A and B are shown apart, each in its own frame.
Chain A
Amino acid sequence: MIPLDGGTDFPYPQGDPGSLETAAGVMKGVATLLSGAAAKISGAAAQAAGSWSGPAASAFQDCVTQIHSGLSTLAGYHTDAADAITTYAGKLQGFQATASKAATDYGTAETDYRNSISTLSAEKQDKSATDAESRAADTLNTAYNHSYRLASDAVTDANQAALACATTISDLSGQAEATAKNQFLVLTAGRHAPLPSLLPPPKPGEKPKEGKGGIELSPVDWSNLLTTLYSAPAAWAVLRHDALEEEASAAKAYQKLVSALLRAGQSEGSSLPSAAAQAKAAVKAEESAEEMAEKILDHAPLSRVLTTSVKDGLPSKIADSLPDLAGKAADDLPLIGALFAAGGAAYDASHGEPVAQAVAGNAAGWITASLTTAGVVSLAGPGGWVVAGGIVLGVGAGMVVQTVIEHPKAVWHFVEHVFSSIF
């Protein structure tokens, strides 16, 4: 420390006011930078808002508001800390001056004492000289005690000033920590809004990825929508056609049985007529189904296409060689949906969409819509709702598959987040 204590062993307030003032000045400079950044961010956000709207833009503006507030708050902490340090530096300087003056005063008193003793020694040694020496010693002792007390009080006061400054600084430190956590860390942790910086910065030319909370489904694909719109009713028609065909076949067989029974009853005169009458009534009830089946069996070219399954469209050798599960699926999946899926994928691919994404999105819509429809039909569900449900699920499946392909890391983060929330 700077030796301003007169070279004595008097207490002296430690510290360097000049360095403290310099540090406070630097902190005020940082405060100015942060305030400037807070002001600039509003302008930059307004520039972005002029050409960006929607939910993502709203989330972005919320982030901007929070960061702007955090920067302003940080600037305030720096200003408050600088003021506290400046105040302490001023007080420290005053207390150091007091301690120095006390030491200097004692040094003067000591000089006076030495001069006095020297003069008295040169004179005649009598009682008056001895008394004078004693008085000089008392004066010096009083001066020492006075200076020591002043210096000691200066150190005590300086310590109290330092303690007051430390209290202020500690409060600011706690507030800075809270600001760091509540206004910045929460954003980077993705708890309030998606921020792409959570992922590694994109390489040059690479598309930035979303943050953990930033998954957005790919938009509805028109070709995918058309694929599912045709796949669901086509699947229903395929299944319905198969069912009616079976009903017609069963009705014909039943009718033959009844005819045989009638012939047997007439020829042998047994008690079969009542059973035959019941069978006849049953046959009548089956006739409507038979008629519908006949209509479909004799369908027009358009309905023939509509009710053709993938298996029907395959060469018989290939269709017969399919494994059981694939054969069943091919039997339930409508050919027209497959054609639309292929056309939609080709269209999407030719208009800039990655081939894998185009194929997967349309295929997912076709398969989901078809199998959902087929599955509910097999449970005897109502036709209209079956088709509508198939379409909705088909569109959703297409969007999800496209999203997974387009943003695999973001989806994986989302799945991890969901599992960690549950378990």
Chain B
Amino acid sequence: MRILADTGGMAGPDFTSIAGGVEPGSPMVDGAMGTASGAAGNGNLAGALTDLGTNLTAAISLAYTCLGALGAAVDYAAESYVANEAHISGAAHFK
């Protein structure tokens, strides 16, 4: 039995919404990096800012994926609880 509480299919916390505003595709990071790169006035700095923007965007995208996975894990656990609860009840009845 993986879920112990009597939630009966609890509504898990919404992990995906935690990253609101920085989800993949958000113009915030790209826009900031693009502005900084364009305003740098120096080739080295502009290139470094572009690289940083790429890596930060990738990291945020992966973080967003992980948060979504956490939410899915909680949902899955809740559903498993319901299934297990039915199974345990059945076993008790069988005895």
Contact = CB atoms under 8 A, between A and B. Distances in A.
A217 interface: no
Interface string A42-72: 0111011011111011001001100100110
B56 A78 contact: yes
Contacts, number: 231
Interface stretch (A97-105, A163-171, A414-422): A163-171
Interface in A1-51: 1, 13-20, 22-24, 26-27, 29-30, 33-34, 37, 40-41, 43-45, 47-48, 50-51
15 contacts: A19-B35, A20-B35, A20-B39, A34-B60, A54-B2, A85-B49, A169-B48, A173-B54, A180-B58, A195-B66, A201-B72, A208-B76, A216-B2, A219-B1, A219-B84
Contact of A44 (B15, B28, B60, B75): B15
Most buried by B among A56, A63, A208: A208
Given A71-B63, A169-B48, 12 more contacts: A1-B41, A18-B39, A37-B19, A41-B18, A43-B13, A51-B4, A74-B60, A78-B56, A88-B40, A188-B66, A207-B76, A222-B90
By secondary structure, the B interface counts as helix
B3 to A, nearest CB: 5
Interface residues of B, number: 64
Contact of A166 (B15, B45, B84): B45
A185 interface: yes
B59 A33 contact: no
A29 B26 CA distance: 13
Contacts of B68: 197, 201
A259 B21 CA distance: 100
A81 interface: yes
Contacts of B52: 77, 81, 169-170, 172-173, 176
A184 interface: yes
B57 to A, nearest CB: 9
Interface string B5-47: 1010010111100111110000011011101101111101101
Contacts of B55: 173-174, 176-177, 180
B62 A180 contact: yes
Contacts of A184: 59, 62-63, 65-66
Interface string A365-389: 0000000000000000000000000
A293 interface: no
Contacts of B42: 14-15, 158-159, 162-163, 166
